[in-house]
Structure 1
Amino acid sequence: MKRRNFIRIVGSTGLLIGATGTMFAYNPLTRADSEEKLKQLCFKAFERFESVWDFNDFWKRGNTFDACLIFVDALKDQWPDDPEVEIIQKKVGKMLEKNLVFFNSFDPGDLWADDFGWWGIMALNARKHLLQLDNKELGEQYLKLSTDLCWEYKKKTAYDHTETGVPVLHGCRNGDANGDSLGVKNTVTNVLLFLLSSRIYRLSLTEAIPDNDKYLDMAYRQWLWFNEWFELDRYQYLKKIPDTGALVQERPMAFFEGSTYQEKIHPPWAEGWVWSGDQGMIIAALTDMLAIKDELAQYLISNEIDADFDVNNYELRLRNLIKQIGLGVKKAMISDVDGIIREAPCFSSFGPEHGRDYVAGRGILMRYLSSDEERNLLGVDLTENIRNTVKAIWNTRNKVTNQMQPEFTSVENDKLYVEQFRKLWGLADDVHKWDIETMKEKNKNGVCQAVGLDILGAAIKTL
């Protein structure tokens, strides 16, 4: 085995989830069998995903397929010579052909800024997968989708190029590409531009991507936007949890005359709103910025953008932020009573208007925090929590179809978690169930199955 054995995930309980959902006692002589059980569970989860991924919802489809790509990449990394893994890789290659046709069926002008972020990041991972299959032609089409379409649209139509933002300049609005609606500068829209820019730039360090400084420049601009907000403690965009860490709120808000950050719609905002998916993506973007610190320093100094840039102070700031948010996740988004990864109890996330969007957050969180690069910087160990969450997701699935569910925790424990969160955060809503009755069944199944793939992928990475 290449990494720590799977038994490290199950901890001191000595229990492991079997492919049938049952539990059995750990025997130190059957470690290979334990890993095999996890692999078979993953195969069953993917088989279900095959039947529910092809649904008609633009941003959700981009996000769910990104979950699939990261999951399959983890499979390939852990079991590179397994014939079934190779079959799954090839199936995903065929699915990516169909996915590009789906993307091209839409008028880009009708799409929203965050749509381009989800698809742009997914497209980079799609290219990586396709190159492993030696499908360079389709891989390059996905690269161009990411750079020439998604990134360019976000830069031209969503980024605020004006000098009128108060109290913080610039940032990215979640408006439509036609410009009919400006939208709001929330966290997810800004972190998607941040992460897409940093990921394209990092790729350009090893691949021939022309004019790559523009991606570095935008990543730096987005870093400045976030960092300036984080330093304005009175607005609590990066809200501290007493003695434990911090979490990034759903959007920055500043209520005073002349402020351009008072928008309470797109979607409807409520005080204290925090979303799990934002935490994973912001840590990933900050991790990228740490990885390219030397390139950034050279760029800023040589172009006289910031001649006094101190790379050591910059690195210290990044590391501190990553650890603050990592600790915030550990303390506030994981239940003390059962150790399962939770969504923060905010009605704005769970409610009928946008619950169908925010239900994906727990998977997005772990998609990024389980990456080796991010995990090594967090300063907290989520291994046992991943194990607990895998167990919960698998044991609450539809046992006939292996379909994952939006809820995989008990109401009794959910109520205790709400109180835990309220004590730490100061605010919480008594929400336990996702209000997604209006969500189309296939869409719901695709999103929930993707959350399962995200958590399973995280479990693989802890082996």
Structure 2
Amino acid sequence: MKRRKFITVTGTSAIAVTGISPLLTWACSEPKSSDTLLKEQALLAFKRFEEVWDFQDFWKRGNTFDACLVFVDALQQRWSEDKEVVAIQEKVGKMLEENLTFFNSYNPGTLWADDFGWWGLLALNARKHLLRIGDKELADQYLKLSTDLCWEYKKKTAYDHTDTANPVQHGCRNGDANGDSLGVKNTVTNVLLFLLSSRIYRLSLTENINDNDKYLDMAYRQWLWFNEWFNLEEYQYLKQLSTSGALVQERPMAFFEGSSYQEKTHPTWAEGWVWTGDQGMLVAALTDMLAIKNELSTYLKTNNIDSNFDIKAYESRLKEIIKSIGQGVKNAMVANVDGIIREAPCLPSFGPEHGRDYLAGRGIMLRYLGSDEARALINVDLTENIEKTLAAIWSTRDLATNQFQPEFTSLQNDKLYVEQFRKLWGFADDVYQWDIESMKEKNKDGVCQSVGLDMLGAAIKSM
């Protein structure tokens, strides 16, 4: 895959200098405000998404459409009266009808635990969107998909209900719904169950969802799993950088006789592997747990689960981890040389075995770190980095189609970033391109466009 020629950009106002598309004519007219430019970029990015979103890959389609939903929510919040934005809201409603048909075409038993996590989260955002445009019937179907299907499958078939795991009990495996494969307890599978549980519970506080304590209970169980691992500092699951901040690794590993956490496959693991998407989702789940601290305290004490629960210590611990990951992202996943947000240089993420799955990570991270709640807690300002990353994504797009690309940074700067990351993390691979030649073109286009939508959504909220 050839790299594009890169230009120097300093912000949103410089984004359009690479070419002029029919709707981007400001280079030949009087200057437009950054607000207007950002909106026009968003409209063009969505127009391309309409052409590539309808592809046949279950988890990727779920994730890419979730990116779209968060993006159009940001559009609506900022330009609610704009006619083109209103039209997009209606279009997405029709697309959600097709997406539900797509979901129902699959036998749930053939799906994996993380599949249910991605679609469960999408379904909650779909409900929010559909209620906003007045389609309560379809909104209720999506809620049922999230709670009665996705969450229940993850709880029943993926969560480890035994007390035998060592050194940390329970957790969630990325197995198939039929139970033919148990899978591995990696970060993404566990954080998806964590986040889905916390999000459903928070929704239940404003809507009539029966038996909502079970979602709070599972969110708490997942919090205990993560926190116990983080307290076992010798395993470095929450690994500190050499300067300040920390990142959660792709999975917890403990190599000793009798350990339940030694599996190096499914997907194939390598030492030091860390993924952007995990950071954003974990911060989101911890942010939820902070928001529901009072409800959790009442639940634990009323049900004699933890009568000595210390809400202040709990709150302090959550904030400590959130800030530590925020600092880790700022220091290790933003290149000093150009301020652009990157994927950690770990060969397992770039492929060829898993590149097509981890390609979306940069967008997923910003989808969650770009929320108002997360921005207030991570204690770092990523606004300038979001702006510079969006500029890079825009300047390297296909000018004819406005299709975003897997790579949007220069090779020279990438090499400097790898050295930066290696010094901070202790591990790094000399990888500069996504090895995704085996990925179907439309699937690739959909995923790449979703990364851009995630970045645009974060920019719309912060710029």
TM > 0.5: yes
Equivalent position SS for 1:17: helix
Specify the code of the residue in structure 1 equivalent to 2:81.
D
Task: Indicate the residue corresponding to 1:425 in structure 2.
Answer: 425
Task: Indicate the residue corresponding to 1:331 in structure 2.
Answer: 331
Given the alignment of the two structures, is residue 88 of structure 1 paired with residue 74 of structure 2, yes or no? no
Matches within 5 A, 1:122-271: 122-271=122-271
* 4+ runs deviating over 2 angstroms: 10-26
Contact 2:11 2:388 in 1 (8 A): no
Matches within 5 A, 1:391-430: 391-430=391-430
Task: Indicate the residue corresponding to 1:294 in structure 2.
Answer: 294
Specify the code of the residue in structure 2 equivalent to 1:454.
D
Q: d(CA) in 2 for partners of 1:410 and 1:429?
A: 17
Q: d(CA) in 2 for partners of 1:173 and 1:282?
A: 17
Contact 2:386 2:458 in 1 (8 A): yes
Deviation at 1:33, TM superposition (A): 2.4
Specify the code of the residue in structure 2 equivalent to 1:169.
Q
Deviation at 1:364, TM superposition (A): 0.1
Contact 2:230 2:236 in 1 (8 A): yes
Q: d(CA) in 2 for partners of 1:143 and 1:459?
A: 28
CA deviations 1:290-332 (Å, max 9, x no partner) are 0000000000011000010000000000000000000000000
CA deviations 1:172-230 (Å, max 9, x no partner) are 00000000000000000000000000000000001000000000000000000000000
CA deviations 1:106-134 (Å, max 9, x no partner) are 00000000000000000000000000110
Given the alignment of the two structures, is residue 377 of structure 1 paired with residue 377 of structure 2, yes or no? yes
Q: d(CA) in 2 for partners of 1:13 and 1:416?
A: 21
Specify the code of the residue in structure 1 equivalent to 2:98.
K
Contact 2:9 2:392 in 1 (8 A): no
Specify the code of the residue in structure 1 equivalent to 2:118.
W
Contact 2:237 2:248 in 1 (8 A): yes
Given the alignment of the two structures, is residue 63 of structure 1 paired with residue 100 of structure 2, yes or no? no
Contact 2:363 2:454 in 1 (8 A): yes
Q: d(CA) in 1 for partners of 2:10 and 2:356?
A: 36
Task: Indicate the residue corresponding to 1:102 in structure 2.
Answer: 102
Deviation at 1:16, TM superposition (A): 3.7
Distance 1:388 1:215, change over 3 A: same
Equivalent position SS for 1:137: helix
Specify the code of the residue in structure 2 equivalent to 1:262.
Q
Instruction: Note the residue ranges of structure 2 that are not aligned, 5 or more in a row.
Output: 1-7
TM-score by length of 2: 0.95
Equivalent position SS for 1:256: coil
Count of residues in Structure 1 that have an aligned counterpart in Structure 2 = 451
Distance 1:299 1:21, change over 3 A: farther
Distance 1:138 1:20, change over 3 A: farther
Given the alignment of the two structures, is residue 45 of structure 1 paired with residue 50 of structure 2, yes or no? no
Specify the code of the residue in structure 1 equivalent to 2:417.
Y
Given the alignment of the two structures, is residue 434 of structure 1 paired with residue 434 of structure 2, yes or no? yes
Distance 1:120 1:437, change over 3 A: same
Contact 2:346 2:428 in 1 (8 A): yes
Deviation at 1:12, TM superposition (A): 7.9
Q: d(CA) in 2 for partners of 1:335 and 1:33?
A: 28
Task: Indicate the residue corresponding to 2:276 in structure 1.
Answer: 276
CA deviations 1:272-291 (Å, max 9, x no partner) are 00000000000000000000
Deviation at 1:20, TM superposition (A): 6.7
Q: d(CA) in 2 for partners of 1:20 and 1:392?
A: 11
CA deviations 1:33-57 (Å, max 9, x no partner) are 2211110111000000000000000
Contact 2:350 2:358 in 1 (8 A): yes
Task: Indicate the residue corresponding to 1:7 in structure 2.
Answer: none
Aligned-residue Cα RMSD (Å) equals: 1.8
